[in-house]
Structure 1
Amino acid sequence: MQRDFLKYTAQQIKYDLSEHHPAVLERFQVNAKDRKYQLWERNPLSIYCYSISVTEQKLEYIHHNPIQERWQLAALPEEYAYSSAGFYQENKDLFGFLTHYRD
């Protein structure tokens, strides 16, 4: 599932950059036999959520990451457009495919 997600999102990002920001796309160019661009790390970190407490810890981290001083992408976790925080805090599924981790 992770591989498919990374492949799909990389293709979408590459398409958008080639259409709207070709100079930015060139920053992702690599010298590899199997690809011209590298948008994601080769070995992304996967965390096994073996318990409810670990899952909640990871969700808390993910939801609060965009509001960190370093990023300042939103004032509140639920205000960040690409977060599931609104789903968990306000029961709003703006994506149309979210399910609760306890389901």
Structure 2
Amino acid sequence: MILYDHHPQFITITNLNWLPVLQNDHHKEIVLEAIARRVALQQVTVYGFVIMPNHLHIIWQLHDGINRADFQRDFLKFTVRSILYFMQMNDDPLLTSLQVKAADRQYQVWERNSLSIDLYSEAVFVQKLNYIHNNPIQPKWNLAQWPADYPWSSAGYYETGSSPFSFVTHYRS
């Protein structure tokens, strides 16, 4: 792991009311684009992720000088705008389920207060990384037979050393 002022973090971001917003592959691509952009801007290092139908998990480490609250707000705002735009353009029936009665918005994609846990030890880090990679094969989901078979995860990278996701950094690098 790279040494920064911030510890690596395990973050869980959930769709409003656990709705399957991320079941749509285009919405997953929007999330991946947002992650890749932040990595390209050298704001964050991403060590692992999985995008599930109604939530995502990421292990990332913010770089020095990056404010966590601002970073997460901007990341979520970009994904919300893009996902909602795509849903509106395609008359997605799930869009009505995202309507909220709020003074500052008509729709809400993400639950407020994402879970974020600092990872202080390698043992906890590895435990969370394994949790992320095994999420799709859990009986509740049954999205793949093996972690590396699930295409919306960094599990394949950790198993084979290659990945379509150039933004993922091995935690032992």
Same fold per superposition (TM over 0.5):
yes
Residue in 2 that maps onto 1:36: 106
Tell me the amino acid that sits aligned with residue 123 of structure 2.
S
Residue in 2 that maps onto 1:68: 138
1:58-78 alpha-carbon deviations (Å, 9 max, x no partner): 111111111111111111111
Identity of aligned residues (%): 51
Residue in 1 that maps onto 2:45: none
Count of aligned positions: 103
Tell me the amino acid that sits aligned with residue 139 of structure 2.
E
For residues 52 and 28 of structure 1, the distance between their equivalents in structure 2, rounded to whole angstroms, comes to 38
CA RMSD, aligned part only?
1.5
- For 1:80-91, what aligned pairs fall within 5 Å after superposition? 80-91=150-161
Tell me the amino acid that sits aligned with residue 29 of structure 1.
Q
Which structure 1 segments of 5+ residues have no match? none
Q: CA deviation at 1:82?
A: 0.9
Which is helix-richer, 1 or 2?
Answer: 1
Q: CA deviation at 1:26?
A: 1.1
1:40-83 alpha-carbon deviations (Å, 9 max, x no partner): 11101001111111111111111111111111111111111110
**Taking structure 1 as the reference length, what is the TM-score of the superposition?**
0.88
For the pair 1:94 / 2:164, whether they are aligned, the reply is yes
Q: CA deviation at 1:20?
A: 2.3
- For CA contacts below 8 A with separation 6 or more, give which structure has more relative contact order: 2
Residue in 2 that maps onto 1:78: 148
Which is strand-richer, 1 or 2?
Answer: 2
